Structure 1
Amino acid sequence: MLAHHTLSILGIIMALVLGESGTEVNAVLFGSEITNPLLQMRWFLRETGHYHSFTGDVVDFLFVALFTGVRIGLGAHLLFCEIVSPKPKWFMKAGGIAMYAVSWCFMLSIWRFAWRKSIKKYHAWRSRRREEQQLKHNGHLKTH
């Protein structure tokens, strides 16, 4: 997180000092912060005790999908455009590469979180299903 914010600040400063690459810096900042409302929603859901609900699952899913689509998918396209363009200076291109690398570090962590959460929910579902099957077969649950 420190690298993300440091690179963002340096990018803004360089764009202001040089008077160029403002579009690229704004695009990176927009892509970097577009998922922030979902992170804030997660926090509010946790604080109010509603995170472990369908709403929490939807917020997490949207966060992962938006992060993957914007920061990784669209980010790759924008980085490619910046790299092949002759206009941005080499250190602005290097900053873009660094920001994209930080996004990938976040992405790996987010995918790991999503995988663990999915596996946990799957095991809970299997456990509930197994209990239901046992109740049906040992005579405690009658079906009419």
Structure 2
Amino acid sequence: MALGLLPTQVGAPNTPLQVHVLCLTLGYFIFDLGWCIYFQSEGALMLAHHTLSILGIIMALVLGESGTEVNAVLFGSEITNPLLQMRWFLRETGHYHSFTGDVVDFLFVALFTGVRIGVGARLLFCEMVSPTPRWFVKAGGVAMYAVSWCFMVSIWRFAWKKSIKKYHAWRSRWSEEWQRKLNGHLKAH
């Protein structure tokens, strides 16, 4: 949906299906925000993401327009959730530090970068160049994209640290194996 979005489609009246999806998603975000606040399980950035999502959904429902782009942003924002849940399950079962954990982390970083940053840039561009959406809809789009970049910086820091740690572990293993092979086996000249 977001890849084929044209600047002329943003700000259009909501369809009944978009309204249905927005209502379901609003319920999810209200519940999840309450959970995060009650259990203090998330930081300020995640609370900002939830709050902006709730405000964006309410805005699209009240105005009766911009359901296309709000749903596209929500889809792009939540598409990485299954991978986050997979990481949690792997960690809880003691399987996170494995090849499967590495694959899940790689897919998460790639999907987040491609969808929230790449496709998100296209969506934001369409929103900004279109004369149809109201100024506060555009401001909300900029705010959501800024939150995505804040998450992206954290994710890339995590990925960099994990990669460096894995590289040093590999290098140490390789060095030990090399020393074992050479130890006591001098080459003949």
- The structure in which a higher percent of residues are helix is 1
Offset, 1:136: 1.4
Aligned to 2:140: 95
Alignment length, in residue pairs? 140
Per-residue CA shift, 1:124-144, capped at 9, x if unaligned? 00000111111112239xxxx
The 5 Å alignment of 1:124-135 reads 124-135=169-180
Residue identity opposite 2:120 in structure 1: G
Residue identity opposite 1:74 in structure 2: V
Residue identity opposite 1:92 in structure 2: V
Aligned to 2:84: 39
Aligned-residue CA RMSD (Å): 0.9
Alignment pair present for 1:64 and 2:109:
yes
SS in 2 for 1:32: helix
What TM-score, normalized by structure 1, do the two folds share? 0.95
Per-residue CA shift, 1:81-123, capped at 9, x if unaligned? 0001111100000000000000000001000100000000000
Identity %: 90
Aligned to 2:21: none
Aligned to 1:81: 126
Residue identity opposite 1:80 in structure 2: F
User: What are the ranges of 5 or more consecutive residues in structure 1 without an aligned counterpart?
Assistant: none
Does 1 or 2 have the higher relative contact order (CA < 8 Å, sep 6+)?
Answer: 2
User: What are the ranges of 5 or more consecutive residues in structure 2 without an aligned counterpart?
Assistant: 1-45
